[in-house]
A and B are shown apart, each in its own frame.
Chain A
Amino acid sequence: MSDYVLKTSNLTKQFKNQVALNKVNLSIKKGSIYGFIGQNGAGKSTFIRIVTGLASPTTGSIELFGQSNGQELIKARKRIGTIIEGPALYPHMTAAENLEAHRLLKGIPGNECVERTLAIVGLQDTGKKKAKNFSLGMKQRLGIGIALLGDPEFLILDEPINGLDPMGVVEIRELLKKLNQEYGMTILISSHILSELHLLATHYGIIHKGNLLEQLTVDELNAKCQQFLHIKVNNPEKAATIIETMLSTNNFEVMPDGCIKLFDYVDTPGKVSSILVNEGLVIEQLMPIGQDLESYFMNRIGGIHRG
């Protein structure tokens, strides 16, 4: 039995002249919460659409629960629950009717799971209210409820917390943690809210322009989260010139508020301070700071202008 729920091998998707996915080799371990990070258009949704069978790859292969061939791969998809590019709801139906339609589609016997799922996602009191009259947050909850029907072993959630209020975000986070820890559900979650993802994911994959740049565990991420020196001086422009010339590095960033993030010399702040002081600058702040996931991601994809 494979330790991996999902493995892709050189997965490539090309639309005419545009490569949406380029030889992606991604693997998701059983029981993990995999945070899938990338900008809009990076290839996240294309990847999810191929895994869920909505699109076919140009080249490469998928192995889902150890199955990679035709009918077996299709059957393996019965073991997953999905939200792809927003919740898929019938607007003229109530929450219970939406769940019932999907229960029948998935062939789940007995309709007691409908009430149970409504309670799990906090929609048990919506009664005869149609889905079209739901708030965005309620629609997201119902979408998650649909994905949870049939107790899938693998949840694929594309932007599941969009539109949720802070309480809703916390509730969904706790729910996903519970599903993962108590039921061993593996979760692939893509989100733009990286701070939220950082609280949840155990593994990360960073995708950029169709290329999977990196896969790492949360421990590896924490170790890799690059430190920097936060420097606040009376003359940032002069300080930038001094850092470039006297410290021989352009691995720094001048922030809009005039503060400087210096990604080198993190272990030798004394050297930096003495040079800046010797050049006549007044140092108001100089301290080492760790990066968060957002900064790490931005650095990894080269999204920050340095120097």
Chain B
Amino acid sequence: MDNLFKAEWFKLKKDRSLWTLIIILTAVSLSYPLLIVFDEGAGAIKVMDFYRNTILEGNNYVIRLVPCILAGFFISSEYSIGTMKSIAASGNSRVRLYFAKLIVYSIGAILISLIFPIIFTGAVSVSLQFNGMPGIGYFAGTIGLTILYTIAFASMMALFATIFTDSGKAIGFMLIFFIIFDSILYLLSGVSPVFETIFNYSVFKLFLDIVNLDTVHGAEMIKLILTPVVTFVAFGILGSILFHKKEIK
């Protein structure tokens, strides 16, 4: 398994879509704080408020949309350029191949999803002269949950990228799916209690609570932590079964 991780990690490091996304998000993270300072002045806003209302809220879109692009290029394109054939014929079990791909892809998605919470926050903190910084516990907690929800969404994206073996189709479908699916699920939850339960326990609803970490306790906290873990494992197993049965063309 070690060699599979090394191979996937080597390819991830060479993936231009990953570096393009990282550069764009980093550029936004570094330039946006300057606009605030010019617009409203350094002393007008607390870093904590900005972190909650702008960075984490904005990162909700990053978590569930931006890794779709990486999934298209890092996973689906392996099928369209034919390299999946040599991977599948390499004498490794399909399950191991899938999980190596999923885990390394998830690391890529985590790198993307942590740019706003870390680099954006760092840049804003400097720009706002460290006025009203978030507590370390809250900050670390939101980073941890961001990682968990990122891998949960990444697990779903890896499944879709395996189904759609063309990067363009995969990215197009996933962007539409992850933009509208939570709304569909929300509408359905008003129609049937079954869908209401699904929605309440889905990552599509719970990831919006990352920002409210300081007000969540007890069973709700366990739900907030366990749901993305279960989602990652469930979709990982589902994806590996699909990949195991898939005929590579």
Residue B129 lies at the interface, judged by CB distance under 8 Å to chain A: no
Known: A54-B248, A101-B7, A105-B7. A93 touches B14 (CB 8 A): yes
Residue A266 lies at the interface, judged by CB distance under 8 Å to chain B: no
Q: Among residues 49 to 92 in chain B, which have CB atoms less than 8 Å away from a CB atom of chain A?
A: 81-92
- On whether the beta carbons of B81 and A105 are closer than 8 Å, the reply is no
- On whether the beta carbons of B14 and A74 are closer than 8 Å, the reply is no
- On whether the beta carbons of B7 and A104 are closer than 8 Å, the reply is yes
Q: Among residues 143 to 158 in chain B, which have CB atoms less than 8 Å away from a CB atom of chain A?
A: none
Residue B247 lies at the interface, judged by CB distance under 8 Å to chain A: yes
B residues contacting the other copy or chain, number (CB 8 A): 25
- On whether the beta carbons of A80 and B89 are closer than 8 Å, the reply is yes
Cβ distance A121 to chain B, nearest Cβ, rounded Å: 16
B3, B84, B87, B247: the one within 8 Å of A107 (CB):
B3
Q: Among residues 53 to 100 in chain A, which have CB atoms less than 8 Å away from a CB atom of chain B?
A: 53-56, 71, 74-80, 82, 84-93, 97, 100
- On whether the beta carbons of B11 and A102 are closer than 8 Å, the reply is no
- On whether the beta carbons of A78 and B91 are closer than 8 Å, the reply is yes
Chain B neighbourhood of A105, CB < 8 A: 3-4, 7, 86-87, 90, 92
- On whether the beta carbons of B10 and A104 are closer than 8 Å, the reply is yes
B7, B10, B81, B93: the one within 8 Å of A88 (CB):
B81
Residue A52 lies at the interface, judged by CB distance under 8 Å to chain B: yes
Residue B16 lies at the interface, judged by CB distance under 8 Å to chain A: yes
- Chain A residue nearest to B244 in the complex (CB): A56
Chain A neighbourhood of B248, CB < 8 A: 49, 54-55
Residue A300 lies at the interface, judged by CB distance under 8 Å to chain B: no
Residue B6 lies at the interface, judged by CB distance under 8 Å to chain A: yes
A76, A78, A84, A107: the one within 8 Å of B85 (CB):
A84
B90, B93, B247: the one within 8 Å of A106 (CB):
B90
- On whether the beta carbons of B247 and A90 are closer than 8 Å, the reply is no
- On whether the beta carbons of A76 and B89 are closer than 8 Å, the reply is no
Residue A146 lies at the interface, judged by CB distance under 8 Å to chain B: yes
Which residue of B4, B11, B84, B249 has the most chain A CB atoms within 10 A of its CB atom? B11
**Residues of B that sit less than 8 Å from A by CB:** 2-4, 6-7, 10-11, 14, 16, 81-93, 247-249
- Excluding A84-B86, A92-B16, A101-B7, 16 further A-B contacts by CB distance (< 8 Å) are A53-B88, A53-B89, A54-B249, A71-B93, A74-B91, A75-B91, A77-B91, A82-B85, A88-B84, A89-B82, A90-B14, A92-B14, A93-B14, A101-B10, A104-B6, A105-B86
List of 5 A-B pairs having minimum Cβ-Cβ separation, nearest first: A78-B91, A107-B3, A104-B7, A77-B91, A52-B89
